[in-house]
Amino acid sequence: MKTRKLGYSDLHLTPIGLGTWAMGGGDWKFGWGDQDDAASIASVHQALDAGVNWIDTAAIYGHGHAERVVGKAIQDRRDDVLIATKCGRVWEGESREIGKSLRRESVHREVDVSLQRLGIDCIDLYQIHWPEPDEEIEEGWGAVAELVESG
């Protein structure tokens, strides 16, 4: 499958990627209903086999569940895939109420936990999920810039 260069980066993505929102399952506020993890993993493998080279996920999808599923799916295929995930949507405690944070400490904590769930040591494309709250946008972009600089 052909690829296209992403902006000014060194990343070359296929025109089609695989989104994993639904793979987060149904046990969260914005879930799409229960999903079978084995079927989700098979979907990732089928996409990669068809030539798709990037997967879009987010920490908030299923409160981390989608990232764990993606991590299992790519554990033996890391060289075949670019991983895009996101920060800025957080949850706390048993209520699992979704909040917003672009504070430096939060962004750094989120990337560390995402790396653990995905079972990888580098995220290829790290994104701010939503540019909110407004008063934290600059701090959030600064934190992302620090992460890029650190590799």
Catalytic residues: 61
Strands 89-92 and 82-87: unpaired
Nearest to 59 by CA among 94, 95, 26, 98: 98
What single-letter amino acid sits at 28?
Answer: W
* Cα 147 from Cα 128, distance rounded (Å): 12
**3-state helix, strand and coil shares in percent for the chain, rounded to the nearest 5:** 40, 20, 40
* Cα 83 from Cα 115, distance rounded (Å): 10
* Cα 64 from Cα 85, distance rounded (Å): 11
